[in-house]
Amino acid sequence: MSISPTTGPLPASRTEADGSAVIRVLSYNIRSLRDDTTALARVITACAPDLVLLQEAPRFFRWRKKLARLAAASGQVLLTGGATASGPALLCSLRARVEHTEDVLLPLTPGLHRRGFATAVVRFGGARVGVLSCHLSLQKDERRHQGGMLLDRLAALDTPHAVAGGDLNERPDGRTFKRLAAKLQDGWAVAPWGGEHTSTPTDPHQRIDALFATPGVEILGCGVPIGHPGVSEADLRAATDHLPVLAALRIPAV
């Protein structure tokens, strides 16, 4: 049975009277800022995220300055990651209270690109949440091992709730994607909203980017922000070679 995506606006960020928080989380492969960074900043700004999980962030000359400029241009601040995580990075809004950050380099397979995780623990109101951004391997066996390390690292954050996302380099029928979806909630599968396919912007035909949340997090909507106010198709095509994934999540208070 096919699931029709929810239409209408995605819930806005807010803190509830009981201390729980509705947050927006955006995952985006930005291809080392090699495309139209002005269009990219417009897309991020229009999505109004509280957390931004980046992949393929700049890793070389003046990479911190480039990430900081993107953050400033899109109403965010640089949280962690970049070269120190071999590509994944995290941005956040000023709404977040940061407890802890850690960049993790994964074991290097000779001849393949070094991979890593950007991780953090943050609070929104009375809600405490772990965050992880990843970009998994193109090689299926290495990718499978990295999926296991992702689950282990998420558990090691030792938070009551967590969100992970990124470029999985695999479709939902793949072994690693299925492994993650068996332990975590796949945002699009639980509460589809907007568009499904993330690759490529000019010919969206596959979902290889995803946002996941631990049990207990309520997923209010998740998908590619096609038709979202302020997000134009021209900007989505110009910004990078992936489409972003945007989710609204309700995080219980602790």
Question: Does the pLDDT of residue 1 top 90, yes or no?
Answer: no
Each residue's pLDDT tens digit, 131-176: 999 999 999 999 999 999 999 999 999 999 999 999 999 999 999 9
The mean pLDDT value of the chain amounts to 96
Could you tell me the two tokens for 100? Answer: 């802890």
Residue 2, pLDDT above cutoff 50: no
Share of the chain above pLDDT 90, in %: 96
Q: What is the pTM of this model?
A: 0.97
Angle at 24 (CA atoms; ends 172, 201), nearest 5 degrees:
50
pLDDT tens, 77-94? Answer: 999 999 999 999 999 999
Average pLDDT on 21-34 reads: 98
Distance CA 224, CA 247 (A): 9
pLDDT at 4 over 60: no
CB atoms within 10 A of CB 183: 14
The total number of residues written for the chain in this structure: 254
